Amino acid sequence: MKITVLVENSPGAKIELEPEFGLSLLIETGERRILLDTGASGRFAINAEKMGLDLETVDWLVLSHGHYDHGGGLEAFFLRNQKAKAIFRRGAERPFFGSLMPSMPDWLHRAGLLTRYIGLDARILSRFSDRIRWIETDVELAPGLRVLTAIPRLHALAKGNHYLLIRRDNRFLPDDFSHELLLVVEEKGEAVVFSGCAHNGILNMLEAVRQNEPWRPIRSAIGGFHLNLPRSEKMSASAREIRELARELGQRVTGEIHTGHCTGAEAFLIMKKELGERLQAMHTGIQFEA
């Protein structure tokens, strides 16, 4: 299985490619191509073209959750690809916001001084509505290719979620991340698990896979783990909590773990001390096997 990081926060060795705050992964397994997320803009598509990758050949687009840094490039994808089935979890269309002071009164949120919109573009969702399949339960897209929505909450959720809100009836409430999903690709009897940001907690996402197929080993976990505060390099969890997370990941995953985007550099280094070469950083333009 080959994974290409089309866009991520950090630049890679290919200087002609442009990073941005967001994530987009191209997954190639056998004859199938899956795009997980589209970054914050059309930059992922421009990078793909520079790398000689044809987005028209993508079979499925899977959106991990309803934030702009994962679905900001939807229009660019739909204009370049006429055939892919787009899989979104119901709820990803709702109005989401990020706030530096999430507990302040609603009227201050509406003023927009410390709160900004971070959801998807409703006009794009309407324009391409015939391309989108909204799901509410676990779905098998094809043999060995599953999207899971039933995520248990046996472990802690990402602490950075505190700053993320949803607007309901003109009130600003904590986002419960019921719009998040995970992608599971099975190969050679093992599972490779993909998350966008793991707002529900990466351990809970791995538990969803275990509960779904308890006999199948998890070979790799790939994606963001949301260990940073929003748009910051400050960690949202303590060093002790991150070390414990790394140990738990190491016990649940048999092979390599690839992470980036919202995981953060400081948290990555702490995890690296626990996991060694099993933990690898994602950067814009890198390609790896999983």
Question: Per-residue pLDDT averaged across 264-278, rounded?
Answer: 96
Question: Per-residue pLDDT averaged across 197-203, rounded?
Answer: 98
Report the top-level CATH class of 2-289: alpha beta
234 confidence band (pLDDT: 50, 70, 90): confident
Q: What is the mean pLDDT of the chain?
A: 96
Percent of the chain surpassing pLDDT 90: 91
**Tens of pLDDT, residues 149-185:** 999 999 999 999 999 999 999 899 999 999 999 999 9
Contact 187, 224 (CB under 8 A): no
Contact 190, 239 (CB under 8 A): no
117: phi then psi, degrees, rounded to nearest 5:
-75, 130
Residues 6+ apart with CB under 8 A from 155: 201, 203, 204, 207, 248
Question: Per-residue pLDDT averaged across 91-100, rounded?
Answer: 96
Question: Per-residue pLDDT averaged across 209-214, rounded?
Answer: 95
Contact 209, 184 (CB under 8 A): yes
**Tens of pLDDT, residues 102-121:** 998 998 899 888 999 999 99
Residue 91 pLDDT exceeds 90: yes
For the chain, what are the domain ranges? Answer: 2-289
**CA neighbor of 47 nearest in space, from 74, 17, 75:** 17
For position 93, what pLDDT does the model report? 98
16 confidence band (pLDDT: 50, 70, 90): very high
Apex 38 CA angle, 37 and 44, nearest 5: 135
For position 231, what pLDDT does the model report? 66
Question: Per-residue pLDDT averaged across 217-226, rounded?
Answer: 98
**Tens of pLDDT, residues 29-66:** 999 999 999 999 999 999 999 999 999 999 999 999 99
CA distances from 254 to 88, 179, 191, 207, 227 (A): 29, 28, 10, 14, 22
For position 289, what pLDDT does the model report? 96
SS3 16: coil
**CA neighbor of 78 nearest in space, from 29, 143, 135, 123:** 123
Question: Per-residue pLDDT averaged across 281-289, rounded?
Answer: 98
Contact 44, 21 (CB under 8 A): no
